Amino acid sequence: MKGLAPLFLGIFGTFAFSWVGLTVIPNWQIGHLNPESDEEGTDIYPQPQSGMFHRGERVYAANGCVYCHSQQVRPDYVANDIERKWGNRRSAPRDYIFERPVFLGKMRMGQDLANIGARAPAQEEGSPAPPTSASPAPQGATASSPPPAQAVAASPATSPMKAASPSAPTAAAASSPGGSPSPNASPPPGQRTGVASPSPGQMANTTPGGSSPAAPSAQTPGAPWPIQTAGLPPMYSAAWHHVHLYAPRSINLDSNMPSYRFLYEKRRIAGERSADALQLSAADAPPEGWEVVPSYDAKCLVAYLMGLNQSHPLKDVRSVSGAPAAGASPAAAAQGASPSPAAAGSPAPAKK
Amino acid sequence: MNATGIPLKEPEVSAAAGDTEQLERAYIDASTRVPVLMFYTSAIAWLILGTLLAGFVSWKLHSPDLLGDVSFLTWGRVRPAHMNIMVYGWASMAGMGTAIWLMARLCRTVLRFPLLLVAGAAFWNIGVLIGVGAILLGDSTGFEWLEFPRYVAVILFVAYTLMGSWAVVMFRHRRGDQIYITQWYLLGAFLWFPWLYAAGQLMLFVVPVQGVLQSAIGWWYSNNLLFLWFGAIALGSAYYMIPKVIGRPVYSYHLATIGFWTYALFSSWTGMTRLVDGPFPAWMITASIAATILAMIPVATVGLNHHMTMQGYFPLMRYSPTLRFTVFGAMSYTVFSVVGLLISLRSVASYVQFTDASIAYSHLGLYAFFTMVIFGSMYYIVPRLVGREWRYASLIKLHFWASAYGIGLMILMLLAGGFLQGADMQNPALSFSESIETVLPYLRGRSLAGILLTVAHFIFAYHFGLMLLGLGRTSTVPTFLNPVEAEISGGH
C-alpha cells in the first residue's frame, strides 16, 4: 500500500460510514418520536412511567434478566410470537420511547416479557393499587386498552391454572369497576390511574393500607383472590410474580429460572402476618411463625414487570384482532381470567 | 511481575548476510519484553478467572439452584461478569500484547515509551477489576458487552488513550517505507476502538438516544468490537505468523488489499443482524443482512490468500505450535462468517433468533477465531521475550486438542440446540417451556465441552508460568510438536 494518507483516510472513512449509517441516520429517523393520541388529544400512548417502574428497570438490569428474556414481539408473518399470546401486535419503536435502558434482548431462555403486564388478570390491571402505581402520574399502561387486548392478556393466564381452580365469580367481580375498592381520584377515560399512594416512599413500607404490590387484600382471608388448592395467586398477578421470583420451581417444576431469594426477606412474624407476605406452597414455605416479604427492590421489579404493556394500538402497526380465545367484551375477558373448563382445555402457551 | 530477571535469549548469529537484521530483531524483541509480558500475564490471569466463571454460568443454566441464594452469584450477574472478563480482561489484553509486539517488529524500531504501556496495562486491569466487581454487586448497565458502569468506562478509556497514543507514536518512528498488511489491520484496530468505545458510551449513557435506538447502538457496538477490534487484531496476527513460520511471502498483496478494505467497509455494517424483525425500520436490518452477505468478499479473499500462502506447507502444522493454532483460527474465521451469514438470513433468523445459535456465533468469533489465533501468536512471541523455549511439546499438544475439541463440541452443541429450540419455538402446538426442555441436554453437553476448555486453559497457564519463571528449555531450536524429520528445516 502506497502512502499513509489513503490508509488513514480509508480507516476513518469506512468507520464513519458505518457510524453515520447505523447510528446517526436512524437517530434522525426514529430518534425523536412522540407519544400518539387520538383526535381529541386524549388516549395518549405511551405515557411516562412511574418512579418504581424505573427503579425496577435498574433491578432488571442489575440481575441480568435481559440475558434470558426478550422484550419484543415479532410480526405474525415471521414468527408465532403473537400466536403465543406474547402480544396482540408487533412491537414498534414508539413502544419504547420512555424506557431507559431498553431491553430488547436476544435470547429466550424464558418467555418474551414485552406484554407481561398486559397479561395480568383483569382485576390486577384495573385495580387502583397495582404495583405500578407508585406515582400519581398516570401509568403507561392504560386500563382502557381494547377488549381483545385484555382478552388476550387474560386468557393465557388461565390454562396453567387449571390445577389451581380459582373460583370464577371472584375474578369476575374483581374485574368490574365497581369492585375496585379505591374510588378516590377517579381516572380520566383512557388513563390508568395510580393514585392509591401519593409517593413512592409510602410504597416502600409494608403497611396494610393497600399500597403494597402484592395486592394485600389478596393475601388476607376473604380476599378477592380465589383461594386455590395449589395456593398460588392468579398467573401474572403481582403476587404471582413474587412467588415466581422467589421460587420459580414451585410454579413450574421444569423451570430453569434462577430464584431471586436475595430480593426477599424471611422474618419472624411480629404480631400479624404482613399483608404482602408471599403465598408460598409447602416446600418453599417458611417455618411456622415466619413469613417471606419482598424487599423494595423486589416490589420495584414487579412494578416494572406489571408496567410492561404494549397492548395499546398504534396507528401504523396492525393489531391482530382475531386472536384465538379472545373475547369481544371485557366481560368475556373476565371470564377468561377464570379457568372455565373450556379455557383450561386449551393448550398452555406458557407454563413458567 | 519481574520480567527483567529473565535471561534474554541469545540471538542466533549466523554467518550469513542477515546477521545485523537478526541482531536488530532480537534487540527489538528484548525491548518489548516487560510491557508485552505484563499484558500476557494479566490476560492469562483473566482467562483463568473467566473460564471458572464460565463453567459456573454454564452449569447453573441447567442446575439453577446451584448457589442461587447469594445475590452476587446469581446467574444474571455471573454471566455478564464472565463475558466482560473474557472480552476486556482476556481478549483485549492478549490482543493488545500481540499487537504491541507486532507493531514494534513491523515498525522495525525498539519499543519507545514502555512506561505508557505499563501504566496503560495497570489502569486497564484496575478498570476491569472494578467493573467486574460492580457487575457482581448489581451495578450493571444492562447493555451486552457494555455492562461496566460509566466510572469504569472512564478508567478504561484513559488506559486505552495511553496505549493508543503509544501506537501512533511508534508508527511515526517506524523505519522503512513499506507498510505491511498486518500494520493496516493493527492501525485500523488501534484507531477504530477508541471511536467505537466513545461513540457507544456517549450515545448510550452520556447523551442517551431514545428508545430502541439504544439497542441498535448496543448491537452496533458489540458487533464492531468483535470485527474491528478483535477480528482486525487476529487477522493482522495471522497475516504475520503464517508467512513468518513457513518462511514464504504472502501469496498476493493485491488480494490482501481487497480483503482489508472490504472487511472494513462491510463487516462494520453487520450489527443489526441480531435484531432481525425487531422494532426497527426494515432498511436498517436489510442493510445489515446485505452487508453480511457482502462480507463474504473479505472472507473469500483473506481465506484464499492464506490458503495459497500455505499451499504445499500444510504438513508444517504437524510441527509448529504457532502455525497449528493460527491456521485453526484463520479457518474458523471462514466458519464464523458463514455461520453468521446463515443465521442472519431472514428465513433462518425467524427460527434461530433468540436461541443459543447466537451464543454459538459469538463463541465462534471470540474463541475459535480470535482466541486460537492469539494462542498461536503467544506460542511464537513468548519464547522471544523470555529467551527460553516452551518446555513440553506434550503440553502444547494437549492444549491444542483440548481447545479444538472443546470449542468444536461447544459450538456443535449450541448450534444444534439452538436450531432445535428455535424449531420448537416456531411450532405453536408446543408450549414454550417445551423448547427449553429441548435445549437442556445440549446445554449439559456444552458444560462438558467447557470442561475440556478449562483443562486447556489450565495447561496453558501452567506452561506460561514455567516460561515466566525461566524454566523453559535453553535451546536454539524452537519446541516442535513432533520430532522434526531431516528434510524439514526452518520454521517454528
The per-residue pLDDT for range A336-352, each reduced to its tens digit, is 333 333 333 344 344 33
Q: Compute the distance between CA of residue B18 and CA of residue B445 in angstroms, rounded to an integer.
A: 52
Of residues A11, A61, A68, nearest to B191 (C-beta): A11
CB B278 within 8 A of CB A26: no
Length of chain A: 352
Residue A107 pairs in a beta bridge with B354
Distance from CA of B281 to the nearest CA of A (A): 8
- Chain B residues close to A256, C-beta within 8 Å: 61-62, 64, 436, 440
Geometric angle at alpha carbon A248, from A243 and A253, rounded to 5°: 125
Do residues B464 and B382 touch, judged by C-beta distance below 8 A? yes
Taking Cα atoms as reference points, which of B83, B167, B70, B76 lies closest to residue B117? B167
Q: Is B79 close to A31, i.e. CB distance below 8 A?
A: no
Interface contact flag, A75 B277, Cβ < 8 Å: yes
Give Rg (Cα) of chain B: 22
Mean predicted confidence (pLDDT) in A178-183: 39
Q: Cβ of A93 and B280 within 8 Å?
A: yes
Residue whose C-alpha is closest to residue A264's, from A236, A284, A237: A284
pLDDT in tens, A89-139: 999 999 999 988 899 998 999 899 999 999 888 764 444 444 433 344 443
> Residue B389 to residues A256, A280, B473, B488: CA-CA distances in angstroms?
47, 63, 5, 19
Q: Which long-range contacts (CB under 8 A, 24 or more apart) does A12-19 make?
A: A12/B191, A14/B261, A14/B264, A14/B265, A14/B268, A15/B191, A15/B192, A15/B195, A15/B196, A15/B228, A15/B264, A15/B268, A17/B265, A17/B268, A17/B269, A18/B220, A18/B224, A18/B268, A18/B269, A19/B195, A19/B199
DSSP, collapsed to helix, strand or coil, labels residue A206 as coil
| DSSP category for residue A120 | S
- Across the interface, whether the CB atoms of A67 and B76 are under 8 A apart is answered yes
- Subunit contact A61:B141, Cβ cutoff 8 A: yes
A209-234 mean pLDDT:
44
CB contact under 8 A, A262 and B428: no
pTM: predicted TM-score of the whole model, two decimal places: 0.82
Gyration radius from chain A CA atoms: 22
Q: With an 8 Å Cβ cutoff, are A351 and B432 in contact?
A: yes
Residues of chain A with C-beta less than 8 angstroms from the C-beta of B281:
26, 29-30, 93
Distance from C-alpha of B457 to C-alpha of A21, rounded to nearest angstrom: 40
HSE-CB of A34 using CA atoms within 13 angstroms: 5
- What is the rounded CA–CA span in Å between residue B4 and residue B316? 33
The H-assigned helical ranges of B146-231 are 150-172, 181-201, 213-224
In angstroms, what separates the C-alpha of B153 from chain A's closest C-alpha? 17
CB B358 within 8 A of CB B343: yes
Grid cell of A22 as nine digits: 447505523
Q: What is the mean predicted confidence (pLDDT) over A168-180?
A: 39
Secondary structure letter of residue A209 according to DSSP: T
Please give, rounded to a whole number of angstroms, the shortest distance from the CA of B398 to a CA of chain A. Answer: 33
DSSP string of A45-74, one letter each residue: BS-PPPHHHHHHHHHHHHTTGGGT----PP
Mutate to test the interface with B, among A22, A45, A77, A115 (most CBs of B within 10 A): A22
CA–CA distance, A123 with A341 (Å, rounded to integer): 20
| A18–B191 C-beta distance less than 8 A | no
Is B436 close to A256, i.e. CB distance below 8 A?
yes
A-B CB pairs within 8 A amount to 237
Residue of B209, B284, B431 lying closest to A31 (CB–CB): B209
Of B68, B210, B431, which is closest to A259 when you measure between CB atoms? B68
Residue from A235, A236, A238 nearest A164 by CA: A235
Three-state secondary-structure class, residue A103? coil
Nearest CA in chain B to A59: B138
Q: How far is A12 from chain B (nearest CA, A)?
A: 8
Instruction: For residue B351, give the chain A residue with the closest CA.
Output: A79
**Does residue B239 contact residue B250 with C-beta atoms inside 8 Å?**
yes
Rounded to whole angstroms, how far apart are CA atoms B68 and A258?
7
Q: How far apart are CA B351 and CA A40, in angstroms?
A: 42
- Cβ distance B354 to A26 less than 8 Å, yes or no, reads no
- Can you list the domains of chain A with their CATH numbers? 39-158+166-177+198-315 (1.10.760.10)
Whole-number pLDDT of residue A347:
40
**Record: contact A111-B432, CB cut-off 8 A:** yes
- CB contact under 8 Å between B79 and A64, yes or no, is yes
Average pLDDT over all residues of chain A = 69
Residue B456 CB-density burial (10 A; 0-12 exposed, 13-18 middle, 19+ buried): buried
Q: Cis ω on the peptide bond leading into residue A48 (within 30° of 0)?
A: no
How many angstroms separate the CA atoms of B367 and B329, rounded? 8
Q: Choose from A11-20, A37-46, A219-228, A245-254 the range with maximum mean pLDDT.
A: A11-20
B434-440: long-range contacts (C-beta < 8 A, 24 or more apart)? B435/A108, B436/A109, B436/A110, B436/A254, B436/A256, B437/A254, B439/B355, B439/B356, B440/A256, B440/B62
Q: For the segment B148-191, what is each residue's pLDDT rounded down to a tens digit?
A: 999 999 999 999 999 999 998 998 888 877 889 999 999 999 99
Alpha-carbon gap, residue B438 to B430, rounded angstroms: 11
Q: Say whether B76 and A30 touch across the interface (CB within 8 A).
A: no
- Please, are residues A14 and B261 in contact by the beta-carbon 8 Å criterion? yes
Averaged pLDDT, A179-201: 39
What's the confidence (pLDDT) of residue A168? 39
Say which residue, A156 or A234, is predicted with more confidence.
Answer: A234
The residue that leads in pLDDT, B29 or A209, is B29
For residue A3, is pLDDT > 80?
no
Q: What is the pLDDT of residue A198?
A: 38
Name beta bridge partners: B389: B473
The residues pairing with A291 across neighbouring beta strands, listed in sequence order, are A267
Residues with pLDDT less than 70, chain B: 1-18, 485-492
Q: Which of A303, A344, A327 is nearest to A149 (CA)?
A: A327
Mark yes or no for CB contact A23/B217 under 8 Å. yes
Helix (H, G, I), strand (E, B) or coil at B322: helix
Give the per-residue pLDDT at A157: 38
Helix%, strand%, coil% for chain A, nearest 5: 40, 5, 60
3-class DSSP state for residue B270?
coil
List phi, psi (to 5°) of A3: 80, 145
Q: Which of B184, B209, B268 sits opposite A1 (nearest CB)?
A: B184
Instruction: Measure the CA–CA gap between A248 and B42, rounded to whole angstroms.
Output: 39
Which candidate, A29, A24, A282, A131, places its Cα nearest to that of B280?
A29
Query: Most A CBs within 10 Å: which of B212, B214, B215, B258, as the mutation test of the A interface?
Result: B212
Residue A167 pLDDT more than 90? no
Residues of B with Cβ-Cβ distance to A22 under 8 angstroms: 216, 220, 269, 271-272, 284, 287-288
Q: Cβ(A181)–Cβ(A351) under 8 Å?
A: no
CB contact under 8 A, A94 and B211: yes
Dihedral of CA B77/B80/B85/B88: which sign? negative
Res A15 pLDDT > 90: yes
**Closest partner CB to A11 (pick from B188, B217, B429):** B188
Residue B62 Cα, gap to closest chain A Cα (Å)? 6
Q: Minimal Cα–Cα distance from B8 to chain A, Å?
A: 35
Among the partner-chain residues A18, A30, A66, the one whose CB lies closest to the CB of B142 is A66
Specify whether the CB–CB gap between B43 and B93 falls below 8 A.
Answer: yes
Smallest CA-to-CA distance from B181 within B229, B223, B225, B242 is with: B242
- Confidence label for A178 from pLDDT (cuts 50, 70 and 90): very low
Strand partners, A266: A292
Residue A2 confidence class, pLDDT cut points 50, 70, 90 = low
Residue A252 is predicted with a pLDDT of 84
Per-residue model confidence as pLDDT tens digits over B393-405 = 999 999 999 999 9
Cis ω before A46 (30° cut-off from 0) = yes
For A60, nearest residue in chain B (alpha carbons): B142
Of the candidates B180, B167, B191, B163, the residue with the CA atom closest to the CA atom of residue A8 = B191
Using CB atoms, pick whichever of B71, B211, B284 lies closest to residue A33. B211
Cα B100 from Cα B111, distance rounded (Å): 9
In chain A, alpha helices (H): 4-19, 25-30, 51-62, 122-126, 147-158, 168-175, 200-204, 216-219, 238-246, 248-251, 296-307, 330-337, 341-345
Which set of grid coordinates corresponds to residue B222? 458489540
Closest to B126 in 3D by CA, of B99, B161, B153, B100: B153
Residues of A in contact with B69 (CB under 8 A): 259, 261-262
The better pLDDT of the pair A221, B481 is held by B481
Neighbouring C-beta atoms of residue B416, cutoff 10 Å: 17
Please give the grid coordinates belonging to residue B211. 428508545
